[in-house]
Amino acid sequence: MALTATVRKVALNISDIDHGYYAEHHLTYAQHPSETDERLMVRIAAFALLADERLLAGAGLSNEDEPDLWKHDYSGQIETWLDLGQPDPARIRKACNRAAHVVVVNYGDQSAEVWWEKNRSALMRHDNLTVIGFDAATVAALGQRIARSMRFDVLIQDGEMQLIGGDAHFDPLTIVPLWRKREA
């Protein structure tokens, strides 16, 4: 018997003071059985960090030719490609050739740091690549906030993101992304 995806509904009220972006997004994610709660919440946090009215969920885990999130320009070309985790450098190179901007959100424990150190020199060659890191404590705190239906207020200011809401017993979560590499 095949396992089915878990449907997650998310409302994000985003106030990105750093980029002058203010909008509410209502998202529906089908959480693949192999996708952890932490990974899905990192995907939601990445969406909030890069929010745009044209940013959409890609097939990600279920289709290797699509990213976790992406944005197309009005002609249909891929403008932004976002992958989570520790993608293979060959996948990143391919994405950099297909999209104007590529973002990798590398997250987790020591293996994330090992991945970055191992691949840093190869990744630095891509002018259209940004690599952002989320530490293990942030990822664990994000994973605790998962529910079938979620509502968050997101405030982005001075390079930090504050996630407010979810279940009432959680204090606001401050996320300080580690910008490992910025697009040239």
Give residue-wise pLDDT tens across range 6-61: 999 999 999 999 999 999 999 999 888 888 999 999 999 999 999 999 999 876 55
The chain-wide mean pLDDT, for the chain, equals 92
- Whole-angstrom distance, CA of residue 179 vs CA of residue 183: 10
Q: Which of 2-11, 105-114, 155-164 has the lowest mean pLDDT?
A: 2-11
Q: What is the pLDDT of residue 140?
A: 95
115-124 b/e (C-beta count within 10 Å ≥ 16 → b): bbeebeeebe
- Whole-angstrom distance, CA of residue 134 vs CA of residue 167: 22
pLDDT over 90 percentage in the chain: 83
* Residue 50 CB neighbour total at 10 angstroms: 20
Total number of residues shown for the chain: 184
Q: What is the mean pLDDT of residues 175-181?
A: 95
Do 126 and 105 form a contact (C-beta atoms < 8 A)?
no
Contacts of 161 (CB under 8 A, 6+ apart): 45, 48, 49, 154, 155, 174, 175, 176, 177
- Whole-angstrom distance, CA of residue 170 vs CA of residue 39: 19
| pLDDT bracket for residue 168 (50, 70, 90) | low
- What is the pTM assigned to this prediction? 0.92
Q: What is the pLDDT of residue 33?
A: 87
Q: What is the pLDDT of residue 184?
A: 78
Is it the case that residue 63 has pLDDT exceeding 70? Answer: no
* Residue 136 CB neighbour total at 10 angstroms: 15
Is it the case that residue 65 has pLDDT exceeding 90? Answer: no
> Positive or negative, the Cα torsion across 40, 45, 50, 55?
positive
